[in-house]
Amino acid sequence: MNVIDNLLKNNSSLKSFSSNQDIIHEGEALHKDMYVLVSGTVDVYKRYKEPDEIKIASLIKGDLFGEMSLFLNKERTATVVASQDVTVLVISPSDALNLFNEDPKASFDFIQILCSRLESMNISMAESMTLMKEKLTEIESEASETPAVKTEKRIRVQCFGNFDVYVDGALLYFPRKKAKELFAYLIHKRGTSCTIKELVANLLEDREDKIESESINNQIQTFISVMMKVLRGVNAEDAIIKNFNSIAIDIDKVDCDFYRFLQGDPDAKNLYTGEYMSSYSWGETVAGYLDAKII
């Protein structure tokens, strides 16, 4: 006697559903019945009638569904919809318990059904993984054949010789020399945050003894304000990172001959002729370092 006959003998109830009628709903927690398909076919969906709806299975006579809720006491994990007129055997938790107590073979039949389903899922998963690996291999192959596209940075900085800044190919004009020197110093620091005191000490060397002076600090703030206004005028203010009482350059926003030299770029090394930010005294020690790297 098969499992369906056993259940019918145990007075489990039969129920009919019309085509396109929902039988169970994903997320439902109230009912814990399990169903065995006696006739017809049903479709199983995740996120039914939602934009990302997925049909995950079609079941035929003899298949069961809803067992997760019955055995694990969990909410429904999918929606099952009749794809034609169907008849199902409705098995309540008490029905199942009575059946398994009275006929141990029925338990074995259920285990066989569940193991068969698990086997099918494993095969399906293995096939999906194989297809995924093949697709990834195909994508990687195509990517390796596609030339890398170099992203051009809007800001180009020239440190070798005299210091100059270009945005979109045009020379950037700073109305105050100290505002330009401030930008040069931030480039020189390569993304390291600089405090107001440090800026005073390097940009206003002759006033270093008055580093705590409010007027000196205001001068530095004026240089910062002018520099930011110049950068805003060409929509390049995002090259500056400002925090409380400190400021830095975002090195990812600039193409700099000095940075490329340090990265070993042969073209940048060819550009170096012994001068590094020659207008600024604080850059003198770097020239000696670069000379040593060339030798």
Q: In terms of pLDDT, which residue wins out, 209 or 238? A: 238
Identify whether the C-beta of residue 172 lies closer than 8 Å to the C-beta of residue 234. yes
Identify whether the C-beta of residue 67 lies closer than 8 Å to the C-beta of residue 34. yes
Identify whether the C-beta of residue 35 lies closer than 8 Å to the C-beta of residue 28. no
The per-residue pLDDT for 223 is: 93
C-alpha distance from residue 103 to each of 98, 99, 198 (Å): 8, 6, 87
Q: How many residues does the chain have?
A: 295
All structural domains of the chain, each given as residue ranges with its CATH number in brackets, are 3-120 (2.60.120.10), 155-294 (1.10.10.10)
Contacts of 105 (CB under 8 A, 6+ apart): 6
The per-residue pLDDT for 144 is: 62
**Of 17-26, 71-80, 92-101, where does mean pLDDT reach its minimum?**
92-101
The per-residue pLDDT for 145 is: 62
**Of 46-55, 59-68, 204-213, where does mean pLDDT reach its minimum?**
204-213
The tokens of 295 are what? Answer: 């030798």
The per-residue pLDDT for 173 is: 95
The tokens of 205 are what? Answer: 């060397």
Element (H, E) at 28: none
Please give the model's pTM, rounded to 2 decimal places: 0.50
The per-residue pLDDT for 1 is: 43
User: Using 50, 70 and 90 to split pLDDT, how confident is the model at 75?
Assistant: confident
Q: In terms of pLDDT, which residue wins out, 214 or 235? A: 235
d(CA 215, CA 75): 70
pLDDT exceeds 60 at position 131: yes
